[in-house]
Amino acid sequence: MSRSEGARLFRESWIAGVRRHFPGEPKAGYVTPWDDTPQWEREAAGAVYEQVRQFAEVSGGHAARLSREQKGRFVALCWTAQMYKHFEDPKPGYVADWDELPQWQRETDADIFEAVVAA
């Protein structure tokens, strides 16, 4: 899968996770379709997709054995690095530590990891 296809998979997995785990109606920006996603976000999604893919590869196929929390933490940390790359002074919610993330976001991040590994 190409990086651009992986970025799209990342975004589609994010949207599916938000729809599954978010309590109530999510903000429109959380479920913006790929074609309307800003360029910086597409680039960040592609980078995180690639990091998860590489992590799965170097684990010899054993990344699936991580706990859901470990999977989600990995995605969240990779995303945080991208926020610092794309923004001089990112919003606190963009770079929140794992313990500060809402449960729906933790679950969505774990879903993303699993979707990338399965692809």
Q: Using an 8 Å Cβ cutoff, are 113 and 82 in contact?
A: no
pTM: 0.93
| Distance from the Cα of residue 114 to its chain's centroid | 10
DSSP string of 88-113, one letter each residue? SS--GGGG--GGGS-HHHHHHHHHHH
- Residue by residue, pLDDT tens for the chain (119 residues) are 888 899 999 999 999 999 999 999 999 989 999 999 999 999 999 999 999 999 999 999 899 899 999 999 999 999 999 999 999 999 898 899 999 999 999 999 999 999 999 99
